[in-house]
Amino acid sequence: MASRRVVVIGAGAAGTMAAIFAAKSGAQVTLIERTKDGGRKILISGGGRCNVLPLSVDESRFVTDSSPNVLRKILRSWPLDEQVAFFEGDLGIPLAEERESLKRFPASHKARDVRDGLLTHAAQQGVTLRMECSVTGFAAHEGGWRVSIAGQPDVTCDALVVATGGLSVPNTGSDGTGLRALAALGHAIHPLYAALTPLTSNSPAFNALSGISFPVTLTAKDGARSSSWTGGFLFTHHGYSGPSVLNVSHVVVRSRLEGDASARVTVRWTPLGDREWEEALKPQGARTVTGALRAELPDRLADALIALARVDPQRVLSELRRDERLRLVEVLVRGELPWNGDEGYKKAEVTGGGVSLAEVDARTMESRLHPGLYLCGEVLDAFGPIGGYNFLWAWATGRAAGRGAAAT
C-alpha cells in the first residue's frame, strides 16, 4: 500500500513538528515554507536564546474563547516531561533549566540550534523541504487536498496540515493567509487580536522613566475580563513592556478593539501591601517621604509616585497627615497605570483568537468540517503566557496533527 501523502504548510514550530511526526508515522511528507529558511519566530524568541519550554505548566494560564476542557485535552496529549525527552533524546538538544524565570532554554542558549535541530531531524525522517514557496490557497480535491503555490504547479496530497501561524511579527512570514483560507472553508474564527504585546502611554508622570526595570504585580480589568501577573516590568520610550505587561495586555487590547477602552490597569509597585506600607510610613526619626519610598523603589520612580500622590517629598514622616499617607498607600498598592494603546502585531508575541477548538478533534487536530484537513499552532484559538507556554502549545498540536494526518 502506498504511503499516505501529507503536505504541511508552514515550517515554524508547529509545522516542523507536524512534519516530523507525520514522517515518523510512515507518511510521505512535504513541508512548504514561504521564507528561505523557516522557523524565524524560533530564532527571535527568548532574546535569541529560544525559551523552548516552561519548567512547569499551569493550564489555567492559557487564554481561549473556546472550551477550556478541549484546550486541556490538547495540552495533555503530549505531557511536558515527554516533550523534554523528545528534545534531549530525539533531537540531541540538552535543555538548561532557569529556575528564577521558570523557563527551559537550549543548553547552548542559541535559538538557531533549536530551529536547525528541528529542520535537520525532519530531513532525516525523509521530509521534503520546499522553501521560498508562497501558498496562495488550498481546497478539497478528489478525496484529498490541492495546494496552490505562487508561480509553481499545484501540489496534491491525501492530508493537509495548516500551520501558517497568525498575524504577529509579520516580518517572520505570518500574514494571515491560512486563517483567511480556513474562514473561506467555513471555519468559525474567534476575533483575532494582538496578544502578549507592549502597552503605550503618553503619561507625563512616567515619560521620563524609560529604562527602569523591576518586578511588579499588574492587574488588568474591563467589564468582562480580568488578568493579573507578577513579574518583570519595563518603562519604555513609548509606554511599558516586560513579562507582567505582556501577560495582561490582551485585556487592554480586546477592550480597545471592542470599542470600549474602559480597561483599567492597576499596579502594586512592590511586594508590600497596605499594612506593610502603613508600617513603612510610620515616623522614623528624621526620615522623609522620599527616604521611605526610595528604600523600596528606584529613585526616579519613587519621586514620580510621590508627585502622583500629591505629597511633599521632603515632608518628614512624623509630619505626614493621614490623608497624605492614605494617598501614598493607594498609589503604591493600587496605582493607576495610564495607557492609551498597544504596539499591536508588530511587537506581539502571539495572535489571540483563531479557529474555534470545537471545530477540531482534540486527539488528532483534524477539522470537524473537512476530513483530511488538520490544524495546529497559532491558527487555533489559544495562547499562553510568555515563558515557553506557546512553544509547548505548538509542539503538542503539531505532533498531534502530524500523527493524525499520517493515519489511514
172 or 317: which leads in pLDDT: 317
Contacts of 350 (CB under 8 A, 6+ apart): 166, 168, 195, 196, 378, 383, 390
User: Where do the CATH 3.50.50.60 domains begin and end in the chain?
Assistant: 5-193+351-406
Among 9, 262, 293, which Cα is nearest to 134's?
A: 9
230 CB-contact burial (10 Å; exposed 0-12 / middle 13-18 / buried 19+): middle
CA 49 from chain center: how many Å? 16
Count of other CB atoms within 10 angstroms of residue 241: 21
Rounded to 5 degrees, φ, ψ at 292 are: -65, -45
Q: Which of 45-54, 161-170, 179-188, 393-402 has the lowest mean pLDDT?
A: 161-170
C-alpha cell at 48: 535569541
Residues 211-231, mean pLDDT to the nearest whole number: 95
Residue 118's pLDDT band (cuts 50, 70, 90): very high
Q: At 207, which amino acid appears? A: N
Q: Taking 90 as the threshold, does the pLDDT of residue 172 lie above it?
A: no
Q: Which of 168-177, 255-264, 266-275, 366-375 has the lowest mean pLDDT?
A: 168-177
Rounded to 5 degrees, φ, ψ at 99 are: -60, -40
**What's the mean per-residue pLDDT of the chain?**
96
pLDDT at 161: 98
Domain 5-193+351-406 has CATH 3.50.50.60: yes
Q: Taking 60 as the threshold, does the pLDDT of residue 73 lie above it?
A: yes
271 CB-contact burial (10 Å; exposed 0-12 / middle 13-18 / buried 19+): exposed
pLDDT at 207: 85
Q: Taking 60 as the threshold, does the pLDDT of residue 1 lie above it?
A: no
At 276-308, the pLDDT tens digits run 999 999 999 999 999 999 999 999 999 999 999
pLDDT at 368: 98
pTM: 0.95
At 13-54, the pLDDT tens digits run 999 999 999 999 999 999 999 999 999 999 999 999 999 999
